[in-house]
Amino acid sequence: VINPSTTLKEKPDPNGLVFGTVFTDNMLFIEWSFTSGWDVPQIKPLENLSVHPAISALHYAVELFEGMKAYRGVDGKIRLFRPRLNMDRMLRSAARATLPGFDKEELLQCIQKLVEVEKEWVPYSTSASLYIRPTLIGTEPSLGVKKPSRAILYVILSPVGPYFSSGAFNPISLWADPKYVRAWKGGTGVCKLGGNYGSSIYAQR
């Protein structure tokens, strides 16, 4: 179901983009429940989510995300960079987080349709791109530590420049601290889960 926004925002200057702070007009939204399975995918105006304060995504980090990009080539065509590998990892992450599985090709088609709807948000630039953030969260309103019976899968888009301020092709300095570990044997480092990232912020302070 496609019901795009009728109120369109002004597109930002691609040379002044700060990573992940500007968002497009629309989003992909799909609900899931154990009893009914996946609902009909919707492309609709970007809006806040309305969730119960007890959902497992908020209390136990039962959630995951992916990071993909769409680029506008010098020929004007829009291309996604190896999106099927992202779908593969997203499905593995869902299994590890006890979130519902999904049809990878169908989800990719939905994402491609969203990018098509938002094609004017793909920067006309060789140094900027449209960042694609698929996200899957457990939404069962329960404080029990268990596999969720409800979930929401949504995709938001953000035009971005280089992640690091030094630019896309300039070297950066990295600091490794053996005191802090993000991945360990038997853990979730192989998956793209929010908890892996949130716990790393302390070491960056």
User: Over 110-140, what HEC string results?
Assistant: HHHHHHHHCHHHCCCCCCCEEEEEEEEEECC
pTM of the model: 0.93
Judge whether 192 lies within some domain.
no
Structural domain of 34: 26-165
Q: What is the pLDDT of residue 168?
A: 63
| Token pair for 153 | 């899968």
Q: What is the pLDDT of residue 116?
A: 98
CATH code for position 126 = 3.30.470.10
Question: Which residue do the tokens 């929010």 mark?
Answer: 194
Mean pLDDT per 10-residue section of the chain, whose length is 205 residues? 95 91 98 98 98 98 98 96 98 98 98 98 94 99 97 98 73 83 88 91 84
Judge whether 137 lies within some domain.
yes
Q: What is the pLDDT of residue 167?
A: 65
Judge whether 198 lies within some domain.
no
Judge whether 16 lies within some domain.
no
Nearest Cα to Cα of residue 67 among 80, 58, 57 = 80
Judge whether 158 lies within some domain.
yes
Query: How many residues are present in the chain?
Result: 205
Q: What is the pLDDT of residue 166?
A: 64
Judge whether 101 lies within some domain.
yes
Q: How many domains does the chain have?
A: 1
Catalytic site residues?
192
DSSP symbol at 41: -
Q: What is the pLDDT of residue 173?
A: 83
Judge whether 184 lies within some domain.
no
Judge whether 44 lies within some domain.
yes
Q: What is the pLDDT of residue 89?
A: 98
